[in-house]
């Protein structure tokens, strides 16, 4: 049981995680302290995902929106949900909807979260594997930059680092 960081008496039921300039701070609050906390200036009851999405879609006229947003023909092959159906009920129908509406969802997710890459907690059993995969992705981007900028000595070093990471990933996946 985690105690409230403000009053120190009650059990914390709210967790606030702030990341500012790469520095993460975590605050645990009880329900009472959360109601008066300065960073929580909204009521969870009044928060409405539908109105939030309507604000995203409704900010522009329908004619100025990309054609795909107006298309009711776009639908999920698994559950049959259409894009317009998602817009009206603000919920996806199944796991396959993420793939069916990927091009439309990515800009929304980026606007809501600032990124489309997972930034949250990682299961301890997968942490090393995921960190190595992200590192590998960054190194491949650096390699491409070095090649474009014709820094071939740097590119060779980066290539060798990539090989080491790939070897470590293979070993870890086989364990």
What is the C-alpha to C-alpha distance for residues 19 and 121, in angstroms, rounded to an integer? 13
Most confident of 12-21, 76-85, 166-175: 76-85
What is the C-alpha to C-alpha distance for residues 142 and 165, in angstroms, rounded to an integer? 14
E strands within 36-107? none
What confidence tier does 59 reach under pLDDT thresholds 50, 70, 90? very low
Kindly report the pTM of this predicted structure. 0.37
pLDDT in tens, 22-50: 788 888 888 888 888 766 654 444 445 55
* Main-chain dihedrals φ then ψ at residue 29, nearest 5 degrees: -130, 145
């Amino acid at each position: 049981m985690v105690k409230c960081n403000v009053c120190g008496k009650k059990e914390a039921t709210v967790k606030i995680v702030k990341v500012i300039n790469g520095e993460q701070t975590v605050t645990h609050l009880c329900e009472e302290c959360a109601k008066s906390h300065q960073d929580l200036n909204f009521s969870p009851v009044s928060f409405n995902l539908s109105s939030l999405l309507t604000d995203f879609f409704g900010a522009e006229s329908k004619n100025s929106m990309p054609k795909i947003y107006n298309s009711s023909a776009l639908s999920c092959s698994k559950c049959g949900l259409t894009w317009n159906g998602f817009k009206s009920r603000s919920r996806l129908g199944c796991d396959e909807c993420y793939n069916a509406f990927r091009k439309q969802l990515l800009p929304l997710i980026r606007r809501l979260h600032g990124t489309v890459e997972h930034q949250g907690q990682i299961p301890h059993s997968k942490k090393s594997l995921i960190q190595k995969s992200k590192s590998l992705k960054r190194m491949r981007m650096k390699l491409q930059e070095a090649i474009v900028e014709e820094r071939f000595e740097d590119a060779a070093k980066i290539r060798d680092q990539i090989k080491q990471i790939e070897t470590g990933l293979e070993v870890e996946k086989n364990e």
